[in-house]
Amino acid sequence: MTILVTGSTGIIGQQVLKNLVGRQVNVRALTRAPERASFPEGIVAVKGDLTDPQGMRAVMEGIETLFLLVSNVPDELTQAIQAVNIAREKGVKGLVYFSVIRADEFVDVPHFTSKYTVERMIECSGIPATILRPGYFMQNDSRQRSLLLDKGLYAMPVGEKGLSMVDVRDIGEAAANALISRDSDTQPAPNEIVECVGPDALTGQGLAGLWSHALNKDIHYAGDSLDQFEQQMVQAGQPGWLAYDMRLMLQRYQQDGAVADMAALERFSRLLGHPPRRYADFCREMAADWS
């Protein structure tokens, strides 16, 4: 049994690899630069690039199960659809695709629509698949360390409708479990969609409160200004297309929220094998780390 993990050097890919170690499967990690990659013992680095379909044909020889994660880049849709087509050509028997929560609803957000298009293509491909739809990563908020500690601000403009944020460690564990399940199937299991979510509906004001408790200081929510958010991303050197994409995502969070229902939370818990982590615990871990 051989599994190929794409996006292997990123925050999610690293967690997936960590949770595949010792699971009696052969794991290959796709990377553009194997000589610079640092993977857990037993993981085989393979040179490849999702923008190179000729090279990916060679990479997918002998692969039985694929973890497909494509970064938020301008040609994300092209890379993903090429990868699924090549996987089908090479007889890959199972697929775990990394999508996003509300992919089918937030159609005005570019990377959401790209991922939902890939979901539809996978459904038509005939490859048995598990679609993972993660919520906003808790770990994204670790980037706010200086704002929280120095200015007393929680500055991500997530609004007040609520988000079911998820810990990346839970995503990695769930993805590994899904890959092992697909890899060991003697008969193809039905396709499934699993929302990767935490148990809490988190709002801007509520998040500021959790940080206040964890840091033992007053933390205030900086508000819902999307103009300021987009401008700050561009000033930090991010490309304009990405800043606008993130703005549109946050706009939908503010308008509609992204709170999982109980059925989705139970489905994710079953795949994990335990309840997902809570944001309050993440806050306490970060506070201890920063101290």
How many angstroms separate the CA atoms of 67 and 87, rounded?
11
Over residues 93-111, the mean pLDDT reads: 97
From the DSSP assignment, how many helices (H) and strands (E) are in the chain? 11, 9
How many angstroms separate the CA atoms of 269 and 204, rounded?
25
Look at residue 54 and tell me whether its pLDDT is greater than 80: yes
Mean pLDDT across the chain, nearest whole number? 96
Within-domain flag for 237: no
Within-domain flag for 239: no
CATH number of the domain to which 101 belongs: 3.40.50.720
Within-domain flag for 178: yes
State the DSSP H helix or E strand holding residue 232, giving kind and residue range, or none if neither: helix 226-235
pLDDT tens sequence across 171-225: 999 999 999 999 887 788 899 999 999 999 999 999 999 999 999 999 999 999 9
Within-domain flag for 69: yes
Q: What is the CA radius of gyration of the chain?
A: 19
What pLDDT, on the 0 to 100 scale, is given for residue 183?
Answer: 84
Within-domain flag for 241: no
Backbone phi and psi for residue 4, each to the nearest 5 degrees, phi listed first: -110, 130
How many angstroms separate the CA atoms of 60 and 51, rounded?
14
How many angstroms separate the CA atoms of 85 and 53, rounded?
10
What pLDDT, on the 0 to 100 scale, is given for residue 221?
Answer: 98
Over residues 116-134, the mean pLDDT reads: 97
Whole-number percent of the chain with pLDDT over 90: 95
Look at residue 1 and tell me whether its pLDDT is greater than 90: no
What pLDDT, on the 0 to 100 scale, is given for residue 101?
Answer: 98
What pLDDT, on the 0 to 100 scale, is given for residue 185?
Answer: 78
Within-domain flag for 172: yes
How many angstroms separate the CA atoms of 92 and 1, rounded?
11
- Burial class from Cβ neighbours inside 10 Å (0-12, 13-18, 19+) for residue 61 reads exposed
> What is the pairing mode between strands 43-47 and 192-196?
unpaired
Q: Which amino acid appears at position 192 of this protein? A: E
pLDDT tens sequence across 19-48: 999 898 999 999 999 999 899 999 999 999
Look at residue 163 and tell me whether its pLDDT is greater than 80: yes
Over residues 264-281, the mean pLDDT reads: 98
Tokens of 123: 């459904």
Look at residue 277 and tell me whether its pLDDT is greater than 90: yes
Please count the structural domains in the chain: 1
Within-domain flag for 208: no
What residues make up the domain containing 92? 2-134+167-196+261-276
What pLDDT, on the 0 to 100 scale, is given for residue 62?
Answer: 95
Within-domain flag for 12: yes
How many angstroms separate the CA atoms of 249 and 234, rounded?
16
Angle in degrees, CA 103, 153, 281, rounded to 5: 65
For residue 2, the cross-strand partners are 26
Whole-number percent of the chain with pLDDT over 70: 100
Angle in degrees, CA 186, 188, 191, rounded to 5: 150
Q: Which amino acid appears at position 284 of this protein? A: R
Q: How confident is the model at residue 263 (pLDDT cuts 50, 70, 90)?
A: very high
